[in-house]
Chains A and B, each alone.
Chain A
């Protein structure tokens, strides 16, 4: 009886065939491991970014400026200064958001919100260097080296296939972090982030993880 009731809880999962996707080419897997190895020496990172979004729903390009702070293994702070002030702090499995327009702090548990969790996981992987983790959802192609430029295309059956057509990551010469990131969405929207003024292993104040702390 117990085993039957126990099995009842797993009804909520649909049968989905696993596609026989090609494995990551060994030379690329090696390159990704190399990148991860370099980034593993980075415990904290601060970098400024300029994000440009070309979206079908907007008359003009949206330019967002801000700063990203990373602290391994699972902390990410995304602060926007322009056009509005916004902060998102990802701390393990909990997400805090604050926006100047609402003034309220929202808190989410990613464990209870699988859709949001998938989104945050993607973002975290892009910026924290877990590139091998991305290979479960993406095929990886080497476009250029040096400077290292990688193309990620969603695998069949991936949760992101309906949203993203490709991601291009360009790395700096030291390959500790990205120079730029381009994302093309299935609806035709494009996003490009360029990074500058990177600091490796800086001291990170505790207030950095306070979603209400502003520059």
Chain B
């Protein structure tokens, strides 16, 4: 008797096969049409674990930090003078000006600094207790006399025309702290820049920096493409004597997308040709093309379905499509091989449903483990892969036989042998083969042990090498050997709340060891409540009586030093101004500083504070920031540390879950522990060599290699299961062809990734390809030897004692604790 449920299902579908196929065809066309509406992402953040690192990257791409475009211009003609160089750079800036690029004028900062009146109007807002103490000390007769004497002496100096105006506004230097704060905030830069004549030069004068703002978001790939095209077009026609490099996040967006699209196209063509050739050469049957069609159709239907579930997909998920096609083409091959010589296709398929189902489950279980990874990209990949696998499996057992039309049901016929593939003939010297397998596995273990793991996310970045080299060169020229910078982001729904949180943090940090190295907006501008308190203090101090007394003292003392009675009238006028809480929006310097430190988004406001990214400083700032609501730190150091921890956690979860699932499934379908362990040896070989390959090439291991190794584990365990099963049931030689073919198609699917440029795709391809080849070879040669040497254990001891009962085909079960469960899943195949 054939498998009753499959028979029933097949007998229902068979008469309706044409409409059924039409409906499926329509579903395929609809899926292909809907692919163009899928929102694909090309960012690297989707491949990062959920948590601080991903939040940081996402935040950086969405804030004003990402709207700058920097062009580093180099003077290649040594004879070019500084002025000519600056003039040429100025002309280049004008050439680049467009709706997408607006030059920034660094000289505006100087202009803002010289508008002393507007700057000193900020004094009441900053009049803290320290400032009050300073004012009290300056207002003594001795203090006034000293200040005026110094002022008089300053008038002799050549720069006095630039500073005398300030002297009229603040003869006693009471408000100098504002200028010190402003200068600290506006002059501080990560990079070693010399501002000269309104231009940003490098110290050696050979490079000049042009800074632009752009309205194009780096997540907008279409506009980013236009922006990059404009930049490339203009910079391709530089005048002689100049060379330029561009630094901006948009280059990464565009480069990543170009490379991924090119890789997907390339792998599709190479894979299609390779698959076509293999099917044409081996099967020599035009109907074998269906074996490739169904996995492809399954993937094409799975893609929009996965996009529906996740709302968007990473391009890398689409790039993995050819691997999925390679894996899922196995099901069609099995069906084709077993049915082409069988007059009763339903019976032939029924005999392999469950072993195929086990293979499908072990493969799918690895992708199930990806849901526990905490990485959005992997979850997307898992959904895509699982849907593809299930659809390919169902289409292989229900639809492929319909299409192949391999004969009709002719009535009952004696069932043949259990048609699972791969008969293994034991090698002539099994002990030597076992020993060789052991040596090979040990070698693999040594390779993996020597591998180094790297959590640097730049290894996942598919950006063109030229772009990355340009950035490295840029840092060499402009960094001055200093440390990189970290950013503390403090967010809140409202501007005032963000200011309050920022100043609470700053006041705490300022008292610490690294307080003077922290650049915060709170240095200059506080929350409304803090400023209201300062203004109240200012009003209480600068009473009309005090102002009159000071004026009188200044006039008297000033006369002695040759100053007119009205010399400091601007100072008295400024003291008499009634301060308010409004922000000085008209002050370009204030606006400039605010733009640097405050970011407004749909969800609220974020205040940035900058600090040197040294281990001590970063640790101190992160510790202080703990407990500040809405805060998180972004720095290269933190990112690396956070990723190391997250990725370690992800690897542990994924490998444990996938290993447990695969092991459980293996135990369910194998009769003894020894048989289960032998079945797992190809999987172990696949993992060891899959991870050892990058190590042998001198490449560090990344998260991509580890996850690919998990997939290898799930795929290669099938080889072991099939091989042990074939040995137990003395399968025919033709089964070897089947398993070689299935490995070949899987290797083609992963091998095409070796032709890609994107590091994630290449890493996946390398580990998958080498791993599957190693697993296959171990299954074909190592497993039969191990079975010959050790047997399966249990009642039957070594292989060869497992003759199936007469008249009955199919599996035979040893008396083991798993017997009851096995009976549920592996019924007798012969009629009862």
Determine if B564 and A58 form an interchain contact, defined as CB atoms under 8 angstroms apart. yes
Determine if A59 and B564 form an interchain contact, defined as CB atoms under 8 angstroms apart. yes
Bound complex: CA A9 to CA B482 (Å): 13
Determine if B159 and A11 form an interchain contact, defined as CB atoms under 8 angstroms apart. no
Residues of A within 8 A of B56 (CB): 1
Determine if B68 and A58 form an interchain contact, defined as CB atoms under 8 angstroms apart. no
Known interface pairs A11-B595, A114-B195; A159-B562 also in contact (CB < 8 Å): no
Residue among A7, A56, A101, A185 making CB contact with B68, cutoff 8 Å: A7
Determine if B108 and A119 form an interchain contact, defined as CB atoms under 8 angstroms apart. no
Q: Does B312 contact A (CB under 8 A)?
A: no
Q: Does B818 contact A (CB under 8 A)?
A: no
| B472 to A, closest residue via Cβ | A2
* B66 CB, min distance to chain A CBs, angstroms: 6
Determine if A15 and B158 form an interchain contact, defined as CB atoms under 8 angstroms apart. no
Residue among A56, A116, A133 making CB contact with B566, cutoff 8 Å: A56
Q: Does A5 contact B (CB under 8 A)?
A: yes
Bound complex: CA A77 to CA B452 (Å): 60
* A89 CB, min distance to chain B CBs, angstroms: 12
Bound complex: CA A117 to CA B109 (Å): 13
* B220 CB, min distance to chain A CBs, angstroms: 15
Determine if A6 and B471 form an interchain contact, defined as CB atoms under 8 angstroms apart. yes
Determine if A159 and B194 form an interchain contact, defined as CB atoms under 8 angstroms apart. no
Q: Does B34 contact A (CB under 8 A)?
A: no
Give the contact-size bracket for chain A: 35 or more
Determine if A97 and B157 form an interchain contact, defined as CB atoms under 8 angstroms apart. yes
Determine if B157 and A57 form an interchain contact, defined as CB atoms under 8 angstroms apart. no
Known interface pairs A7-B249, A11-B64; A101-B563 also in contact (CB < 8 Å): no
Q: Chain B interface: which of A78-86, A145-153, A172-180, A198-206?
A: A78-86
Determine if A14 and B194 form an interchain contact, defined as CB atoms under 8 angstroms apart. no
Residues of A within 8 A of B247 (CB): 3, 6-7
Residues of B within 8 A of A163 (CB): 114, 161-162, 165
Residue among A88, A133, A191 making CB contact with B197, cutoff 8 Å: A133
Q: Does A189 contact B (CB under 8 A)?
A: yes
Determine if A114 and B83 form an interchain contact, defined as CB atoms under 8 angstroms apart. no
Q: Does A50 contact B (CB under 8 A)?
A: no
Q: Does B474 contact A (CB under 8 A)?
A: yes
* A95 CB, min distance to chain B CBs, angstroms: 9
Known interface pairs A57-B167, A58-B155, A163-B114; A13-B109 also in contact (CB < 8 Å): yes
Please encode chain B, from 485 to 515, with 1 for each CB lying within 8 Å of some chain A CB and 0 for all others: 1010000000000000000000000000000
Bound complex: CA A196 to CA B69 (Å): 51
Q: Does B439 contact A (CB under 8 A)?
A: no
Determine if B109 and A9 form an interchain contact, defined as CB atoms under 8 angstroms apart. no
Chain A residues touching B, majority SS: mixed
Known interface pairs A11-B596, A57-B167; A185-B161 also in contact (CB < 8 Å): yes
Residues of B within 8 A of A112 (CB): 187
Determine if A101 and B83 form an interchain contact, defined as CB atoms under 8 angstroms apart. no
Determine if B563 and A119 form an interchain contact, defined as CB atoms under 8 angstroms apart. no
Q: Which parts of B533-558 form the interface with A (CB within 8 Å)?
A: none
Q: Chain A interface: which of B283-291, B572-580, B585-593?
A: B585-593
Residues of A within 8 A of B487 (CB): 5, 8
Residue among B114, B186, B195 making CB contact with A117, cutoff 8 Å: B195
* A152 CB, min distance to chain B CBs, angstroms: 14
Q: Chain A interface: which of B97-105, B127-135, B350-358, B670-678?
A: B97-105
Residues of A within 8 A of B597 (CB): 11
Among B161, B195, B196, B474, the one with the most A-chain Cβ atoms within 10 Å of its Cβ is B161
Q: Does B107 contact A (CB under 8 A)?
A: yes
Residue among B65, B458, B566 making CB contact with A11, cutoff 8 Å: B65
Residues of A within 8 A of B161 (CB): 119, 163-164, 183, 185, 189, 191
Bound complex: CA A115 to CA B180 (Å): 12
Chain B residues touching A, majority SS: helix
Determine if A86 and B157 form an interchain contact, defined as CB atoms under 8 angstroms apart. yes
Q: Which parts of B39-78 form the interface with A (CB within 8 Å)?
A: 56-57, 60-61, 64-66, 68-70
Q: Does A35 contact B (CB under 8 A)?
A: no
Please encode chain A, from 92 to 105, with 1 for each CB lying within 8 Å of some chain B CB and 0 for all others: 01000101011000
* A4 CB, min distance to chain B CBs, angstroms: 4
* A36 CB, min distance to chain B CBs, angstroms: 10
Q: Does B270 contact A (CB under 8 A)?
A: no
* A99 CB, min distance to chain B CBs, angstroms: 6
Q: Which parts of B153-174 form the interface with A (CB within 8 Å)?
A: 153, 155-165, 167-168
| B470 to A, closest residue via Cβ | A3
Residues of A within 8 A of B107 (CB): 16, 157, 159
Determine if A10 and B68 form an interchain contact, defined as CB atoms under 8 angstroms apart. yes
Bound complex: CA A191 to CA B61 (Å): 52
Q: Does B417 contact A (CB under 8 A)?
A: no
Residue among A57, A86, A158 making CB contact with B168, cutoff 8 Å: A57
Bound complex: CA A113 to CA B211 (Å): 20
Residue among B111, B186, B484 making CB contact with A12, cutoff 8 Å: B186
* A60 CB, min distance to chain B CBs, angstroms: 6
Determine if A114 and B113 form an interchain contact, defined as CB atoms under 8 angstroms apart. yes
Residue among A14, A116, A120 making CB contact with B592, cutoff 8 Å: A14
Determine if B187 and A136 form an interchain contact, defined as CB atoms under 8 angstroms apart. no
| B153 to A, closest residue via Cβ | A101
Residues of A within 8 A of B97 (CB): 18
Residues of B within 8 A of A160 (CB): 114
Q: Does A140 contact B (CB under 8 A)?
A: no
Please encode chain A, from 52 to 65, with 1 for each CB lying within 8 Å of some chain B CB and 0 for all others: 01011111101010
Q: Does B634 contact A (CB under 8 A)?
A: yes
Determine if A115 and B168 form an interchain contact, defined as CB atoms under 8 angstroms apart. no
Q: Does B190 contact A (CB under 8 A)?
A: yes
Residues of A within 8 A of B159 (CB): 116, 119-120, 123
Residue among A2, A17, A117 making CB contact with B471, cutoff 8 Å: A2
Known interface pairs A7-B70, A18-B103, A60-B562; A2-B636 also in contact (CB < 8 Å): yes
Determine if A136 and B636 form an interchain contact, defined as CB atoms under 8 angstroms apart. no
Known interface pairs A3-B252, A11-B596, A60-B562; A16-B104 also in contact (CB < 8 Å): yes
Q: Does B178 contact A (CB under 8 A)?
A: no
Please encode chain B, from 592 to 609, with 1 for each CB lying within 8 Å of some chain A CB and 0 for all others: 110111000000000010
Q: Does A213 contact B (CB under 8 A)?
A: no
Bound complex: CA A112 to CA B184 (Å): 10
Q: Does B342 contact A (CB under 8 A)?
A: no
Bound complex: CA A99 to CA B156 (Å): 10
Bound complex: CA A117 to CA B357 (Å): 78
Bound complex: CA A58 to CA B592 (Å): 35
| B203 to A, closest residue via Cβ | A111
Residues of A within 8 A of B564 (CB): 56-59
Q: Does B813 contact A (CB under 8 A)?
A: no
Q: Does A118 contact B (CB under 8 A)?
A: yes
Q: Which parts of A35-56 form the interface with B (CB within 8 Å)?
A: 53, 55-56
Residue among B104, B559, B563 making CB contact with A13, cutoff 8 Å: B104
Determine if A5 and B60 form an interchain contact, defined as CB atoms under 8 angstroms apart. yes
Q: Does B110 contact A (CB under 8 A)?
A: yes
Determine if B110 and A118 form an interchain contact, defined as CB atoms under 8 angstroms apart. yes
- Per CB-CB distance, the 3 closest pairs between chain A and chain B, nearest first, are A16-B105, A57-B567, A9-B190
Residues of A at the B interface (CB closer than 8 Å) are: 1-18, 53, 55-60, 62, 64, 78, 80, 83-84, 86, 88, 93, 97, 99, 101-102, 111-121, 123, 130, 132-133, 136-137, 157-164, 183, 185, 187, 189, 191
21 A–B contacts from the bound complex (CB under 8 Å): A1-B57, A6-B474, A8-B485, A9-B189, A9-B485, A12-B596, A18-B103, A55-B164, A56-B564, A57-B167, A57-B566, A57-B567, A58-B562, A62-B156, A84-B156, A101-B150, A115-B110, A115-B162, A119-B159, A133-B197, A161-B111
Residues of B at the A interface (CB closer than 8 Å) are: 56-57, 60-61, 64-66, 68-70, 83, 86, 93-94, 97, 102-115, 149-150, 153, 155-165, 167-168, 183, 185-191, 194-198, 203, 211, 213, 247-249, 251-252, 457-458, 471, 474-475, 484-485, 487, 559, 562-564, 566-568, 588-589, 591-593, 595-597, 608, 610, 634-636, 639
Question: Other CB < 8 Å A-B pairs besides A121-B197, A136-B83, 12 of them?
Answer: A3-B252, A8-B487, A11-B65, A11-B596, A14-B112, A57-B164, A58-B563, A62-B155, A159-B110, A159-B114, A162-B111, A189-B164
